[in-house]
Structure 1
């Protein structure tokens, strides 16, 4: 078993139907929901009738009012929290973070009750935020999308960042499962089902979905836009780890250790994939992030310097001037006065790593 799937789930005895309760949050991501449910549907029955023989699933909510997905499609819960029977798994599917209310107090209370009663909690996409708000992730490793890493830190500032994973598809830690979202919902559903069913049953569902082999939790999340593409999974993970540790840059030895490589192997592989050393690439990631923060926030230069791993504002200023040809304040003023079309070009310049 790999390091992410550090603690096995309790396996349900054969011929016991596994029950999944699915909680949809406002503006949930339809792909994450449909991918997970289709894996359940296709694994539940030997024939092609999608009968809930091996497992059953139900969409539950505070009321039976439809829940709107981020794409506009609405799903009506099948039963309410108070009416539902106990579930083996509670799956919370999130989506957009900044577009209105998230989980209400009744939803959080339902999650806490289910966790107390022994259900395994599954957070998909920003459903992880709701599990955190409900207080059921304490002491567990937590997987979030790289895209929402800083949102998570901002909303939960006391998070132990050593327990936060933003470079892998999903994490299984005892009875807590967290997933970065999107297509990875299929992979995490397959990983859960393999705890209870034989490989052929789960593989059949993957083949019908034209997925092929499932990705393991150790597989890297796709690299963020603006990071130079790397075909080797170890380098993809290395770049994501650099993004995740902006405030305290990992040493070459620490980075190599997380990737199960020697420092020399990592340097050689990184140079072949990106044309740069890991240290140089990491510095450019920090500078690019500082440039983005200067144009997208009103944070002080000193605050940005600290967040991006520079010793102080002067240190950031020296490195920034080398990279962008001007000090941070001048860069901010210049971008603030740009026309919309020019801002688009600037954002592309930053995202593409031009000049790096």
Structure 2
């Protein structure tokens, strides 16, 4: 076992995801408890306020302000559902300076978006919560983005959030103190199914839609992978070996909706993610999601969600997610 305690800093961005933060810090506490030794120390860091509120309203007191000299072995940035709206230049500059000094830095849930905004992910593989992925791909085309639950690439760690930090912390504890202790910590939290880093973030299409027809699964997969430039019904049917009429009947019988209606729903959901997570112009998002004009997009969006596209860019208190 390593003799010196590791100090982990948690930079809490207002609206951070409480579950993701807890899943990252609690394994450190458990490791200390189970060994009867101080293997880890942690410090809470704020971009400014003395207390930072999570998306659910719970607050965490912070003893360090971003920019203040602090001795850390690892810094984890915890953010919530609207990380693209965080634009504090001092904090972003501090992150860049720490990266320049070779510090090991990670992001949890929306945290990887903050790392990208700080300009410290170029040349690294990273992951992020699936809700943020479309916006990250649009805003940072040079970043090597994966849909894994977590990625450790040299001195950068990124984690998709939710309960995935439990899996990442298992790997980090095993790295420093061995797999036996990591297993004890995971068992402490009854997290017995340890997932490898490359595990999927979401359930399979079969599980999500409750379908077991291989042809429909293929069609859904094709649609899911072409959310912007929509595949024509006839092209999708041809690729899975059906006629357009058979494809329509398949959607009607298995999902209760038409092919066109389901595709429209997918495009609108992608547009909503981009509106919430990126600064791209609404007209650009409309065209990128397959709508002929901003006005056409606006009508469809209001019909689907009951609000205008512009209103999605005015976050309500407590609206941050994941």
TM-score relative to the length of structure 1: 0.62
Confirm or deny: 8 A CA contact 1:18 1:88 kept in the other structure. Answer: yes
**Closer/same/farther in 2, CA of residues 170 and 286 from structure 1, 3 Å limit:** farther
Are residue 144 (structure 1) and residue 132 (structure 2) matched? no
Residue 83 of structure 1 and its aligned partner are, at CA, apart by 4.7
Which residue of 1 is the match for residue 278 of structure 2? none
Residue 132 of structure 1 and its aligned partner are, at CA, apart by 0.7
Are residue 71 (structure 1) and residue 56 (structure 2) matched? yes
Partners of 2:224 and 2:77 in 1: how far apart? 26
Are residue 34 (structure 1) and residue 58 (structure 2) matched? no
Partners of 1:216 and 1:143 in 2: how far apart? 14
Which residue of 1 is the match for residue 203 of structure 2? 223
Which residue of 2 is the match for residue 93 of structure 1? 78
Partners of 1:55 and 1:44 in 2: how far apart? 7
2:171 is aligned, of 180, 191, 212, to: 191
Confirm or deny: 8 A CA contact 2:268 2:301 kept in the other structure. Answer: no
Which residue of 2 is the match for residue 14 of structure 1? 2
Q: Which is worse superposed, 112-121 or 65-74?
A: 112-121
Are residue 122 (structure 1) and residue 110 (structure 2) matched? no
Confirm or deny: 8 A CA contact 1:21 1:60 kept in the other structure. Answer: yes
Are residue 182 (structure 1) and residue 169 (structure 2) matched? no
Name the SS of the counterpart of 1:145 in structure 2: coil
Gaps of 5+ in 1: 1-12, 251-274, 277-281, 314-327, 341-356
Gaps of 5+ in 2: 232-249, 252-258, 276-280, 307-322
**Closer/same/farther in 2, CA of residues 295 and 160 from structure 1, 3 Å limit:** closer
Greater length-normalized contact order (CA 8 Å, ≥ 6 residues apart): 2
Which residue of 1 is the match for residue 92 of structure 2? 108
**Closer/same/farther in 2, CA of residues 118 and 337 from structure 1, 3 Å limit:** closer
Residue 338 of structure 1 and its aligned partner are, at CA, apart by 8.2
| RMSD (Å) for aligned C-alpha atoms | 4.4
1:214 is aligned, of 188, 191, 194, to: 194
Confirm or deny: 8 A CA contact 1:63 1:77 kept in the other structure. Answer: no
Partners of 2:137 and 2:114 in 1: how far apart? 14
Give the count of matched residue pairs: 273
- 1:277-304: CA deviation from partner (whole Å, max 9, x where unpaired): xxxxx9997554235578998967x975
Name the SS of the counterpart of 1:146 in structure 2: coil
TM-score relative to the length of structure 2: 0.68
1:1-356 to structure 2, matched below 5 A, reads 14-47=2-35, 53-63=38-48, 65-81=50-66, 83-97=68-82, 102=86, 104-154=88-138, 156=139, 158-160=140-142, 163-165=144-146, 167-223=147-203, 227-229=208-210, 243=224, 246-247=227-228, 287-290=264-267, 292=269, 307=289, 336=302
Residue 82 of structure 1 and its aligned partner are, at CA, apart by 5.0
